[in-house]
Amino acid sequence: MSALHHITCTWNPELPDARCAAIRRQAERHLDLKLNGLKHVALYAVRADLTDSDLARLAREGLSDAVAQRVGLNGLPAGCDGYAAFILVEKLPGTTDDEGLSAQRTLHDLLGVPFSPAPQEVFASDLYLLEDALDEATLRHLAAELLGNPLVNKFTCGPVARLALPVPAEEAAAEPRVETISLQVSDRELDLLSKQRLLSLDRAEMKAIQAYFRRPETLARRCQSGLPPEPTDCELEILAQTWSEHCKHKEFNALIRYVDRETGREETIDSLFKTYIRASTLEIARRLEAAGNNWLVKVFSDNAGVVRVDRDRLFVFKVETHNSPSALDPFGGAITGILGNNRDPLGTGRGGAVLLFNTDVLCFGPPSYAEPLLPGQLHPRRVFAGVRQGIEEGGNKSGIPTINGAIVFDPRYAGKPLVYCGTGGILPDNYNGRPAWEKEIAPGDRIVMAGGRVGKDGIHGATFSSLGLDKHSPRSAVQIGSPITQKMLSDFLVEACRRGLVKCATDDGAGGLSSSVGELAPLSGGAEAWLERVPLKYPGLQPWEIFLSESQERMTLVVTPEAGPELAQLAKLYEVEATIIGQFTATGLLEVAHAGQPVAQLDLDFLHDGLPRKQLEAEWRRPEPPEPEIPDQLNFTATLLQLLASDNICSREAVIRQYDHEVKGRTVVKPLMGPRGLAPQDAGVVRIGFDDWRGIALACGLAPRLGDLDAYQSSAHAFDEAVRQIVSVGGQLPEPGKLGESTFWCANDNFCVPDSAYDPDHNPDGKYKLAQLVRMCQALADMALAYHVPMTSGKDSMKNDFRAGAKKISVPPTVLYSVAAAIPDVRRTVTSEIKAAGDGVYVLGRSGAELGASEFQQLFGPPGGCVPAVRPAEALALYYKVMAANRAGLIRSSHDLSDGGLAVALAETTFGTGLGLRVAIDPVADTVDHPDPRRRLCAALFGESPSRFVVTVRPEHRARFEEILGAAAVRIGEATADPIFRIAWRGQPLVDGPCTDLLQAWQKELLA
């Protein structure tokens, strides 16, 4: 064995250490722990035979900052005896260690040898020295809360006298072993087998597998191929992964008996996906085609949807969720989520899209959550902080701007957060004349695995994400993404595709090679994988683990044997490992071998179509909770301030600033705009390139609160919100009669719902929950057809429950619509903040007496009463007018009305502008249809009726604007030069004060 050396890099005591300062602040704030002195030491353990001079050079020149750090060699860092206690934070064996690997690169550069990531020779860890003599329990608590996560880190702590330098564990090699599992057992034993092996397969599915392995033709062929009659571990794992909810969307494809107790109607729905999502999009495609338009290029059948920008460019867009992993390890879950989602556009068609933007929508428990935590449950504040950091590192380090997003708080997300990650990219129309969006495979083509190496990380991710969470959730499912590995992979892939070397690319995500090879195999009619060729991070993996591992930053590429050498050469230049690990065939089989020994052999027909249909029951009854009382005497200024400072409305600036939202230099409408960069915007807008002004607008809509009263409206609102935000910024919807001239719109749907399969014991309200999902899907179809906005891709997540004993925390059924649309000229987009004194202020759209589930109502009790309804025909008529006014350049600022209603939206348009507003609410309140004037006033100020905007118009454009909008626009006042915010009613001031007061309330610190 090679010698073990240690290098310590200690912060220069003369310089401030911002990292330790932040830890001390957080310890005091969140753990009530005042740390007097804290010192950080970067520690590298190097297992390599080095000369003294090479070791010294590695330490002094390679690993330390000559100005900011002090170096120590082969011993404890100088000065550590001045401290009382220590915490050493190492990575658990097999966990991503990017710092160690980067140090290893430097070592290999220094030695002048080609870089190799395995075996790992440099291990990075963090040593913290504390002045306070804290006891071991406190140190452990500090470590687990602020310095790492026990699922990915090893903590050692105690008095400094006990500090010893770390000795990295070595992975032991293991003989490859293939286990055979007998399925000739009772039904109960089949259930047990599924549970014990974490297969997540139900009895019907287990019996289908049992039957397959009893077929005479199966048995005969297995005998011929040298496989045992019973399934191998690898085969069962492949089936479990392929048939997982995550991969096959069993509930969205189930037969559902739906009973509507409101109408008394009963019906059978043959797949929610086919009935609502696909059917509505196919109808829109038919209408577009009939009008001679062809921007809808590829829907549902690839990793991301594809629409056309222009003759030379396509737009690919995908949004996914990464909820379960983010609940266990918020940082690792989120970074893996965003990087994993990036690989979907990258792996669409032939591959190699250039990624243009990210979007992230997050749902957490409130930061002030005060319920006792259940075993295994992390506090929402920690989840928020970790997820935020994961998205920062995943997005920023990949050089992809995060241009849009949302954060929603509700106590029901405290068990499992929702982490939606989306990415859009630009794919060329073709590579060397071959359509870039098509996947093409012929027998004999090679399977290439490119990117990171394979370890034990993330085994069972696909099956695990299809389960509810509890404290026994598998630890091996936690992965930490490596943005640098992926960035190098994507740079390589873009170039390889550009050169026409790649016939097809796909992501190795959930299910690993099993999923990617298994899904590609039908394109040629079969595939065989040779596992001994797969590069491993360390020895000791069993064949099934190699095939199923979800080690990140990998993609599967398809290349012809002739293109292999050029691809290999390019990979070498880009320092990316790309290895031929098998080939495609026409045998109708998925075959896996390890060093010539067969490990798995499954019929593709059975693998993909052999699983039994699920049958589920749904029953809808409208919940009718009472409406909370609104007090007679309301202080409107105080109410507005309270709303502005509420968790769901207050500023996201602290989060937004930590995401790079303008790398690539193309972001035109950023999340915050205006002279001081403080005014929140509706949709993000990016330019596509530097040679023209074409762009893409991106928005997101979700309204989970409404689902407590009406799931249909919750979905319809979410859809309307995303579309109106794009209309607000200047988007042009396809109009009937002008479909032939329309430019692209595309939506992604992401349903995240609690367990909706009825079970009298475990899920007694399952039928209602499924009915909520049915109604959300009905709204999707109605809205998509009304607005001519097709779904091009999506992903659902079905079991968002956290269980501990008899307790269960279930998320509210939540659908996110992420909508992207072409912007022909980004210079004509409209931002939300008011621009000049004297401009007229208008409210567009109808305000109803519908306060149900509004943020305003929430101030007074749980939701009840009348939920605002989307009226698509009325909304569209308004949108067409807004579009016409924008085409004529008549709208100077535009903000859509959402949480908190008109009063909040008006306040937001002033932030950072140095201007004020003087408006009278009467013209809006008078149109609200309700007998009680006070009720009309509350609805006008704080109601959340959909499909509305507040806009400003230059005085010289007033007449033309009013002519186009007609009665849909209500003039309520004008922008003023003094920064005072005034709302009057019946001639009396309701709100009257400096805009800075509103801004200050809104700038609440959400996450310290």
Partner 1 sequence: MKPVRALVITGYGINCQEELAAAYRLAGAAADIVHFNELLAGVRSVRGYDVVNFPGGFSFGDDLGAGKALANKMRFCRLAGGRTLLDEIAAHLQAGGFVLGICNGFQVLVKCGLLPNVGGNLEQEVSLIVNDSGKFEDRWVHCRAEQPPHTPFLKGVNILALPVRHKEGKLVFRDDHIRAAILDQGLCALRYCDPDGKIATEYPARPNGAALSCAALTDPAGRVLGMMPHPEAYLSSYNHPDWARRRAAAGGSEEGEGLRLFRNIVDHIRRNRP
Which residues bind to partner 1, rule: CB under 8 A? 15-19, 21-22, 61-63, 65-68, 98-99, 101-103, 105-106, 109-110, 112, 124, 392, 396-399, 482-484, 487-488, 491, 573-575, 656-668, 670, 672-675, 677, 687, 690, 826-827, 830-831, 833, 835-836, 892-893
CA distance 930 to 876: 24
CB of 305 to partner 1, least distance (A): 24
Question: Given the complex with partner 1, which of 6 and 614 has the nearer CB atom?
Answer: 6
Using the CB atoms, write b or e for 327-361: b if 16+ within 10 Å.
bbbbbbbbbbbbbbbbbbbbbbbbbbbbbbbbbbb
CB of 1008 to partner 1, least distance (A): 12
CB of 658 to partner 1, least distance (A): 5
Question: Given the complex with partner 1, which of 546 and 578 has the nearer CB atom?
Answer: 578
Is residue 512 within 8 Å of residue 505, measured between CB atoms? no
Question: Given the complex with partner 1, which of 190 and 1006 has the nearer CB atom?
Answer: 1006
Question: Given the complex with partner 1, which of 96 and 756 has the nearer CB atom?
Answer: 96
SS3 990: strand
Choose among 565, 464, 450: nearest CA to 513: 450
Question: Given the complex with partner 1, which of 308 and 687 has the nearer CB atom?
Answer: 687
CA distance 151 to 148: 9
CA distance 136 to 86: 9
CB of 461 to partner 1, least distance (A): 23
Q: Which helix (H) or strand (E) holds 5?
A: strand 4-11
CA distance 844 to 969: 5
CB of 98 to partner 1, least distance (A): 5
CA distance 845 to 882: 10
CB of 232 to partner 1, least distance (A): 39
Question: Given the complex with partner 1, which of 828 and 935 has the nearer CB atom?
Answer: 828
Question: Given the complex with partner 1, which of 56 and 804 has the nearer CB atom?
Answer: 56
Choose among 621, 603, 390: nearest CA to 483: 390
Please name the residue that has the structure tokens 């790398």. 663
CB of 864 to partner 1, least distance (A): 41
CA 128-130-132 angle, to 5 degrees, is: 160
**What one-letter code names the amino acid at 582?**
G
CA distance 463 to 243: 9
Is residue 446 within 8 Å of residue 559, measured between CB atoms? yes
Question: Given the complex with partner 1, which of 835 and 982 has the nearer CB atom?
Answer: 835
Cα(first)–Cα(last) distance of the chain, in Å? 47
Question: Given the complex with partner 1, which of 5 and 767 has the nearer CB atom?
Answer: 5
CB of 487 to partner 1, least distance (A): 5
Question: Given the complex with partner 1, which of 5 and 446 has the nearer CB atom?
Answer: 5
DSSP 213-280: TT-HHHHHHHHHHT--SSPBHHHHHHHHHHTSHHHH-TTTTSEEEEEETTTTEEEEEE-HIIIIIIHH
CA distance 347 to 877: 39
CB of 694 to partner 1, least distance (A): 13
CA distance 531 to 595: 7
Q: How far is CA 47 from CA 61, 122, 166, 168, 187, in A?
A: 19, 6, 11, 9, 52
- Exposed, middle or buried by CB within 10 Å (0-12, 13-18, 19+), for 674? buried
Taking the CA of residue 238 as centre, how many other CA atoms within 13 Å lie in the half-sphere pointing to its CB? 30
* Partners of residue 746 on adjacent β-strands: 820
Question: Given the complex with partner 1, which of 661 and 717 has the nearer CB atom?
Answer: 661
Taking the CA of residue 143 as centre, how many other CA atoms within 13 Å lie in the half-sphere pointing to its CB? 28
Q: Which helix (H) or strand (E) holds 619?
A: strand 615-620
CA distance 335 to 127: 24
Question: Given the complex with partner 1, which of 329 and 392 has the nearer CB atom?
Answer: 392
Q: Is the dihedral of CA 406, 407, 411, 413 positive or negative?
A: positive
CB of 479 to partner 1, least distance (A): 16
Question: Given the complex with partner 1, which of 22 and 586 has the nearer CB atom?
Answer: 22
CB of 765 to partner 1, least distance (A): 43
CB of 581 to partner 1, least distance (A): 24
CB of 23 to partner 1, least distance (A): 9
Question: Given the complex with partner 1, which of 124 and 702 has the nearer CB atom?
Answer: 124
Question: Given the complex with partner 1, which of 471 and 827 has the nearer CB atom?
Answer: 827
Question: Given the complex with partner 1, which of 489 and 599 has the nearer CB atom?
Answer: 489
CA 181 from centroid of its chain's CA atoms: 37
CA distance 124 to 119: 15
CA 834 from centroid of its chain's CA atoms: 32
CB of 15 to partner 1, least distance (A): 6
CB of 19 to partner 1, least distance (A): 6
Question: Given the complex with partner 1, which of 698 and 791 has the nearer CB atom?
Answer: 698
CB of 675 to partner 1, least distance (A): 5
Structure tokens at 351: 């591959």
CB of 748 to partner 1, least distance (A): 25
Measured from the Cβ of residue 377, the count of other Cβ atoms closer than 10 Å reads: 23
Q: How far is CA 866 from CA 622, 851, 912, in A?
A: 12, 6, 35
Is residue 799 within 8 Å of residue 755, measured between CB atoms? yes
Q: Is the dihedral of CA 543, 546, 550, 554 positive or negative?
A: negative
